[in-house]
Amino acid sequence: MKHIYNNILLSVSNGEKLLAVLIDPDKFPLDNTETFINKVNESIATHIFVGGSEVEKSQTETIVSEIKKFTQLPVILFPGDITQITNEADALLFLSLISGRNPDYLIGKHIQSISLLEESNLEVIPTGYILIENGKETAVQRVTETMPIPRKNVQLIADTAKAGELLGMKLIYLEAGSGAIHSVTTEIITQVKNKLKIPLIVGGGIRSKQQLVSAYSSGADLVVIGTAFEEDETFFEEIKNPFVLQTFPQKRKQQY
């Protein structure tokens, strides 16, 4: 049964907030997997995302199978490229970079991935991916050769998100980029959330409890954090219950 997306919908309808820990195979030391994943298991995280803009072939598969040894949390691919597709994961965000105008990242790579996806058991979740300017050039911008939407152009960001929804996408991901100087503003999150009926993911540059709470309060259903955990694993402690529990009803950990 593929029910990761349905469980996200259920959480949203119950007002429960979700947190994904992002693991970039390019930066993650494989021999630290057990220790790191144990911390993820004990934290408020509900999902593990795996992916990056520049990852060597087969590195993703190795890391995902190692992660799966130590957790029951759903492992979702957040791929920068077709080479990051592996059947070891539970699901795949089928990302279309709708903020950009590079046909490869809007539809081209998707077509190339079909034979791989047809052979896999992955739950494929169509996701509108929107890159927002954050104060510096990001890896996504460099690799996809697209421009982010200026953070001041809230209307364009909200309209892009709505267009993604009307095209049939099941999630919208507002991305400031890994290690962003400025995370996605609360104004952007609020305006986008007001337009959408589908769940909203927000990530990039979130490094404090306060930023996490602000993103949730503004309407993010699922927040993605990578760099803050990579750089300092004590961040798991900082965001431990009961802080989120006091603020929001928290999704209990699900067995998939």
d(CA 237, CA 71): 18
Which of 61, 81, 88, 175 touches ligand 1GP (CB under 6 A)? 175
> CA dihedral in degrees (67, 69, 75, 77; nearest 10)?
50
Min dist. Cβ of residue 89 to ligand 1GP (A): 16
Which of 92, 206, 220, 239 touches ligand 1GP (CB under 6 A)? 206
Query: What own/partner pairs with CB < 8 Å and gap ≥ 24 does 141-147 have?
Result: 141/177, 142/53, 143/53, 143/54, 143/80, 144/97, 144/100, 144/102, 144/104, 144/105, 145/102, 146/97, 146/99, 146/100, 146/101, 146/102, 146/105, 147/100
Q: Does 224 bind ligand 1GP (CB under 6 A)?
A: yes
CB 64 within 8 Å of CB 88: yes
Window 21-80: residues binding ligand 1GP (CB under 6 A): 22
Which of 225, 235, 239, 250 touches ligand 1GP (CB under 6 A)? 225
Q: Does 179 bind ligand 1GP (CB under 6 A)?
A: yes
Which of 178, 185, 218, 250 touches ligand 1GP (CB under 6 A)? 178
Q: Does 122 bind ligand 1GP (CB under 6 A)?
A: no
Total binding residues toward ligand 1GP, as defined by CB under 6 A:
14
Please, which residue, 176 or 196, has the CB nearer to ligand 1GP?
176
Q: Does 215 bind ligand 1GP (CB under 6 A)?
A: no
CB 203 within 8 Å of CB 224: yes
Unique residue bearing structure tokens 């990242």: 105
- What are the residues binding ligand 1GP (CB under 6 A)? 22, 175, 178-180, 203-206, 224-228
